[in-house]
Amino acid sequence: MAANVQKSSLLFLIFLLLQTFYPANSQSFLGVNYGQLGDNLPSVEATVNLLKSTTIQKVRLFGAEPKIIKAFANTGIGIVIAFDNGDIPTLATDPNVARQLVQSNVMAFYPASNIIAITVGSEVLKSGDQNLISKLLPAMQNVQNALNAASLGGKVKVSTVHSMAVLSQSYPPSSGVFNPGLGATMKALLQFQSANGSPFMINPYPYFAYKSNPKPDTLAFCLFHPNAGQVDSGNGLKYTNMFDAQVDAVRSALNAMGFKDIEIVATETGWPHGGDANEAGPSLDNAKAYVGNLINHLKSKVGTPLMPGKSIDTYLFALYDEDKKTGPRSEQYFGLFKPDGSTNYDVGLLKNTQTPSTPTPKAAGTWCVPKPGISDAQLKGNIDYACSQGIDCGPIQPGGACFEPNTVKAHAAYAMNLYYQSAGRNKWNCDFSQTATLTNTNPSSNGCNYPGGSS
């Protein structure tokens, strides 16, 4: 039993060391949306320097401005450029336009500028514009043909961006299906993407799911806070957060149409840190919790219930607050950074700070334990949540070093603390819907070792 404890401690130490020495590599899945709908935004050069100072590895543009593409040359940052909805009719009907755009916006800068994908249109299928929808695939095909002619086919992917509205059903995730009205159009698009190895790009926003159903349990589910979880009645898989549920609904829809080979990319997801007084959800704490916990979740490589063991490429929305965006006031406050380059909230993206998953060494040890008086039902929910996030809960299983005392409270304390230690030792990692607290007293006892660190 002592050997098991030593082995568990050694593995935990190795995990922490790997996170410390390879913070940038561990976030190769992470990108950000660089919008420019603001009248006070930094220069392109300042923006490139800002991104170089972070562990963000990819950037998605909402256009293909040569000045911006060139500015990212020799940075190694993956670039997704965009041909917008207004370009689609001409791209669809004139292959020469596609060749010219590829020549002037891709070949002129590649490979110094690491262009990895071109999006043709955004949320076109949601628009209801049948003329535009009918031209989407021909436009994508002409762009692909232009890339092939330039020997860039397979190196630069061609896709289009969808909203969750392309699904007619998304809950439970196993029942996810595309809108029947898009049947032939969607099938043709997917056949093209499968043949060319391009990803299905989707914008999952748990924020909007909460906004439409603003209840405390919905908020916990959306923010990756500990919760009882939701069991998919179709396959018995358990979901503990909305992001996974939305992504898996898309996975189910793709599978149902026979396209299990197409990868998914989350091209936009985020949470506003401000908004109008009558908007449900926007706040600095909620934004920090969602983005920070999402990054931790992706870094864990737990994956989703339908796609375990890997993290999909995910682009945070957005790099900056954008004061010229229209709609609810919250639309202006999705930014990770202020126009002066300082953070709106810190989720450890800067290279000169530790990431949320990397503890910052300090003198005093801290452990996360349940507050007094918390019910067994709540603690069981905490155990389920913590153990679903990639930590090793073997020690609290029968025969494990920490199985005794065999009480819900003791098992919850071990699982909650291990989650806290591995997720970054931030105060919000020991919240568990306000059922947990930090202590300086080491709860280890009788051969059961609780990893400890600093807050």
Q: Is residue 417 classed as helix, strand or coil in its secondary structure?
A: helix
Backbone angles phi, psi at 334, to 5 degrees: -95, 0
Beta bridge partners of 81: 118
State in Å, rounded, how far the first CA of the chain is from the last one: 29
Type of residue at 46: A
Element spanning 267, H or E: strand 264-269
| Burial zone of 349 (CB within 10 Å; 0-12 exposed, 13-18 middle, 19+ buried) | buried
Type of residue at 399: G
Please pick, among 123, 263, 279, 404, the residue that the annotation labels catalytic: 123
Type of residue at 166: V
Q: DSSP of 348-400, one letter per residue?
A: S-BTTS--TTS----SS-BEEEEPTT--HHHHHHHHHHHHTTT---GGGSTTS
Say whether 123 is catalytic: yes
Element spanning 245, H or E: helix 242-256
CA atoms of 62 and 83, how far apart (whole Å): 8
Q: Which two tokens stand for residue 20?
A: 């410390």
DSSP 156: B
| Burial zone of 81 (CB within 10 Å; 0-12 exposed, 13-18 middle, 19+ buried) | buried
Say whether 65 is catalytic: no
Q: Report yes or no: 403 and 395 within 8 Å, Cβ to Cβ.
A: yes
Please pick, among 45, 65, 263, 268, the residue that the annotation labels catalytic: 268
Residues in CB range of 105: below 8 A, 6 or more apart: 64, 66, 69, 81
Q: Which two tokens stand for residue 253?
A: 């829809």
Catalytic residues: 123, 268
